[in-house]
Structure 1
Amino acid sequence: MTPDLILPHDGVLPHFASRPVWCGRGSTVIGAATIGAQAWIGDDGVIRADGQTVTLGDRFWLGHRSTVHIATFTHGTTVGDRVTVGRNAVVHACAVGSDVVIEDDVVILDGANVDGGVVIEAGATVFPRAHLPGGFVYAGSPAKAQRPVTREEIAERAERLREAAGDSAPMPPADEPDVEESVFVARTARLRGRIALGAGSTVLFSCELSAEVGPIVVGADTNIQDNSVLRSRGEGIVIGRDTTIGHNVRIADCRIGARSLIGIGASIAPGTVIADDVMLAAGATTDPGQLLEGGQLWGGRPARILGPLDAEKRAMMSRIVEGYCEHGRAYRRLQAEYP
Structure 2
Amino acid sequence: MSTTRPGVTIIPIHGKTPKIHDSAFVAPGCVIVGDVEIGADSSVWYNCVLRADVSRIVIGERSNIQDGSVVHCDPPRPGDPDGSPTVIGDDVLVGHMAMVHGCTIEDRGFVGLGAIAMNKARIGSDAMLAAGAMLTEGKVMEPRQLWAGRPAKFLKELNDAAIAGMRIGVAHYAQNARDHSSAIGAMGAGAVDGQA
Bucket of the pairwise TM-score, normalised by the shorter protein:
0.7 to 0.9
CA distance in 2, matches of 1:335, 1:175: 21
Per-residue deviation at 1:322?
Answer: 0.2
Task: Indicate yes or no: 2:76 matched with 1:240.
Answer: no
Q: What residue number does 1:175 align with?
A: 11
- Matching residue within 108, 112, 117 for 1:259: 108
Q: What residue number does 1:43 align with?
A: none
Per-residue deviation at 1:179?
Answer: 2.4
Q: What residue number does 1:294 align with?
A: 143
- Matching residue within 51, 56, 79 for 1:215: 56
- Matching residue within 21, 28, 31 for 1:190: 31
- Matching residue within 97, 104, 118 for 1:269: 118
Per-residue deviation at 1:251?
Answer: 1.2
Q: Which amino acid aligns with 2:148?
A: G
Q: What residue number does 2:159 align with?
A: 310
Q: What residue number does 1:335 align with?
A: 184
Partner deviation per Cα, 1:287-318 (whole Å, 9 max, x = no partner): 11111111111111111111111011111100
Q: Which amino acid aligns with 1:200?
A: D
In the TM superposition, 1:1-339 aligns within 5 A as 174-175=10-11, 178-234=19-75, 235-338=84-187, 339=189
CA distance in 2, matches of 1:336, 1:243: 26
Partner deviation per Cα, 1:56-110 (whole Å, 9 max, x = no partner): xxxxxxxxxxxxxxxxxxxxxxxxxxxxxxxxxxxxxxxxxxxxxxxxxxxxxxx
Q: What residue number does 1:41 align with?
A: none
CA distance in 1, matches of 2:104, 2:135: 12
Q: What residue number does 1:163 align with?
A: none
Per-residue deviation at 1:233?
Answer: 2.1
CA distance in 2, matches of 1:226, 1:286: 20
CA distance in 1, matches of 2:90, 2:19: 19
Q: Which amino acid aligns with 1:277?
A: D
Q: Which one has more relative contact order, counting CA pairs under 8 Å at least 6 apart?
A: 2
CA distance in 1, matches of 2:141, 2:21: 32
Secondary structure, in 3 states, of the residue corresponding to 2:20? coil
Confirm or deny: 8 A CA contact 2:106 2:124 kept in the other structure: yes
CA RMSD of aligned residues (A): 1.5
TM-score by length of structure 1 reads 0.48
Q: What residue number does 2:4 align with?
A: none
Per-residue deviation at 1:180?
Answer: 2.7
Confirm or deny: 8 A CA contact 2:19 2:38 kept in the other structure: no
CA distance in 2, matches of 1:182, 1:287: 33
Secondary structure, in 3 states, of the residue corresponding to 2:169? helix
TM-score by length of structure 2 reads 0.81
Per-residue deviation at 1:331?
Answer: 1.4
Q: Which amino acid aligns with 2:35?
A: R
Runs of 5+ consecutive residues of structure 1 not aligned to the other structure: 1-25, 27-172
Identity %: 35
Runs of 5+ consecutive residues of structure 2 not aligned to the other structure: 1-7, 13-17, 76-83, 190-196
The structure carrying a bigger strand percent of its residues is 1
After TM superposition, the runs of 4+ consecutive aligned structure 1 residues lying more than 4 A away are: none
